[in-house]
Structure 1
Amino acid sequence: MKTKKPVTLALVGAWHVHTNGFIKEFQKTRSESAVFKRVWDTDPERGQRFAKMLQATWTPDYSAIFNDPEIDGVMIEAETSRHKELIQQAAAAGKHIFTDKILAPSVSEAEDILAYTDEAGIVCCVSHESLTRPDYRYAKRLMDEGWFGDIVSYYFRRSHGHAKTDRLPSSWFDPATAGGGALIDLGVHGISLAVYLWL
Structure 2
Amino acid sequence: MNVALLSKWHVHADDYARQAKNNENITIKVVWDEIAERGNKWAKELGVPFENDLIKVLEDPEIDAVIVDTPTNLHKEIITLAAKHKKHIFTEKVLAFTVRDCEEIFTVIKENEVKLMVSLPRLTENYYLYAQDVLDKGLLGKLTSIRCRLAHNGAVPFEGNPNGWLPNHFFNKEECGGGALIDLGAHPIYLTNRLAGSAKAVTARLQKTLGHDVDDNAVVIVEYESGVLGTLETGFLSNGSPFQLELYGTEGTLLIEDQNIRLKSKQLGEGWNVPDQLPETLSMPLNQWVSDILVNAKPTLDENDFLNLTIINQAASLSNEQGRRIEIAELTTESVEV
* Cross-structure match for 1:186: 184
Deviation at 1:198, TM superposition (A): 4.4
Structure 1 equivalent of residue 95 of structure 2 = 103
Contact residue 7 and residue 68 of structure 2 kept, 8 A: yes
Letter of the 1:149 counterpart: G
Is the contact between residue 117 and residue 124 of structure 1 (CA under 8 Å) also seen in structure 2? yes
Task: Specify the alignment match of 2:32 in structure 1.
Answer: 40
Matches of residues 1-199 of structure 1 in structure 2 within 5 Å? 7-27=1-21, 29-30=22-23, 32-164=24-156, 166-198=164-196
Contact 1:10/1:39 (<8 A) preserved:
yes
RMSD: 1.6
TM-score by length of 2: 0.54
Which segments of 5 or more consecutive residues in structure 2 lack a partner in the other structure? 158-163, 198-338
Distance 1:170 1:51 in 2: 22
Deviation at 1:147, TM superposition (A): 2.2
Summarize the Cα distance change of 1:49–1:148 in structure 2 as closer, same or farther, 3 Å threshold: farther
Structure 1: 4+ residue segments shifted above 4 A:
none
Aligned counterpart, 1:3: none
Q: Distance in 2 between matches of 1:167 and 1:49?
A: 20
Does the residue aligned with 1:157 lie in a helix, a strand or coil? strand
TM-score by length of structure 1 reads 0.89
Q: Alpha-carbon deviation of 1:151?
A: 1.1
Retained in 2: the 8 A contact 1:36–1:55? no
Q: Is the 8 A contact 2:20 2:28 kept in 1?
A: no
Contact 2:20 2:27 in 1 (8 A): no
More helix by share: 1
Unaligned residue ranges in structure 1 (runs of 5+):
1-6
DSSP-derived class of the 1:186 partner: coil
- Number of equivalences: 191
| 1:57 counterpart SS class | coil
Q: Which deviates more from structure 2 when the two are superposed, residues 105-114 or residues 153-162? A: 105-114
Rg larger in structure: 2
Distance 1:87 1:66 in 2: 11
Alpha-carbon distance between aligned partners in 1 of 2:39 and 2:82, rounded to the nearest angstrom: 18
Question: Percent identical across equivalent pairs?
Answer: 38
77-86 vs 186-195, which moves further: 186-195
Q: In the alignment, is the contact (CA less than 8 A) between 1:105 and 1:180 conserved in 2?
A: no
Task: Decide which moves more: 17-26 or 59-68.
Answer: 17-26
SS in 2 for 1:184: coil
1:78-113, Cα deviation, whole Å (9 max, x unpaired): 000100110010000000000000111222212211
Q: Deviations over 1:99-144 (max 9, x none)?
A: 0001112222122111211222111101012223221222122222
Q: As a proportion of its length, which structure holds more strand?
A: 2
Of 44-53 and 84-93, deviating more is 44-53
1:59-83 per-residue CA deviation (whole Å, 9 max, x = no partner) reads 0011111101111110000000100
Aligned-pair CA distance for 1:25: 3.0
Q: Hey, what does 1:4 align to over in structure 2?
A: none
Which residue identity does 1:25 align to in structure 2?
Q
